[in-house]
Amino acid sequence: MLQSSETERSVVMSGGLVLGRVPWGWLLGVGLALIVLGSLALVVPLVFTLTTVTFVSLMLILGGGAHTAGAFWTRDWTSFFTHLLIGLLYLVVGFVSLEEPLQFAAGLTLMLAAFLIVGGLYRIILTLRFRFDHWGWMLANGVITLVLGIMIWRQWPFSGTWVIGTFIGIEMLFSGWTWVILGLALRRRAHRPLAS
C-alpha cells in the first residue's frame, strides 16, 4: 500500500516510469543547481573546459595505474604486455593532458568536430538513400550536425577553449530543467489524494 505524505510518495508516471519514494524537493534542488552550473558554464566555458580536461586527465592516470598494477598482478597471463602497454599509454596521456590542458582540449575538440562532420554526412547520405517515414527530420539532424562540425573545425584551435565547456553547460541546463520538471510533477502528484 502506498503511503502519502506532503514531500514524498511512490509514483507511476505516464509511460510506466516508476519512481519509488522520491522527495520532490531534492529533485527540484538538484535541477536548480544544475541550471545554475550550466548557466555558469555558458558564461565561462574555458573554466569548465579546463575542469573537464583535468578530471579526464586524473581518471586516465588512475586508470593507467590500475592497468599497470593489474598487468603485474597477472604477469603469468599471455596478455601481460598488452595490459602493461595500455596502462602506460593511459598514464602518459593522463600526465601529458594534465601538463598541457589547452592542447588536450584542442585535440578533443578537433576529434569532436571530425565526429560531427562524419556523423552528419552519414545521416544525410542514409536519409537520402532510404527516404523512410518522416525522413525530413533525420535529414535536418544530419545537416545541423554537419554544419556544427564545420563551424567548430573552422574555428579550431580557438574552439578548443570553449566547445567542451559550452557543451557541458548545455547538457547541464537540459538535465537541470528535466529534474525541475520532474520534481514539480512529483509535487503535483504528492498533493493528489490517493485512490482507494
Domains of the chain, residue spans? 23-189
pLDDT above 50 for 185: yes
Q: What is the mean pLDDT of the chain?
A: 85
**Tens digits of residue pLDDT in 57-115:** 999 999 999 999 998 888 777 788 888 999 999 999 999 999 999 999 999 999 999 99
d(C-alpha 126, C-alpha 120), whole Å: 10
d(C-alpha 55, C-alpha 63), whole Å: 12
**Tens digits of residue pLDDT in 37-66:** 999 999 999 999 999 999 999 999 999 999
H or E element: which one contains 11? strand 11-12
pLDDT score for 193: 60
Best CA proximity match to 88, nearest among 55, 61, 52, 57: 61
Local confidence band at 4 (pLDDT 50, 70, 90 cut-offs): very low
Mean pLDDT of the region 1-25? 53
Answer positive or negative: Cα dihedral of 87, 98, 119, 170.
Answer: positive
pLDDT score for 189: 74
pLDDT score for 58: 96
What pTM, to 2 d.p., does this model score?
0.69
Local confidence band at 8 (pLDDT 50, 70, 90 cut-offs): very low
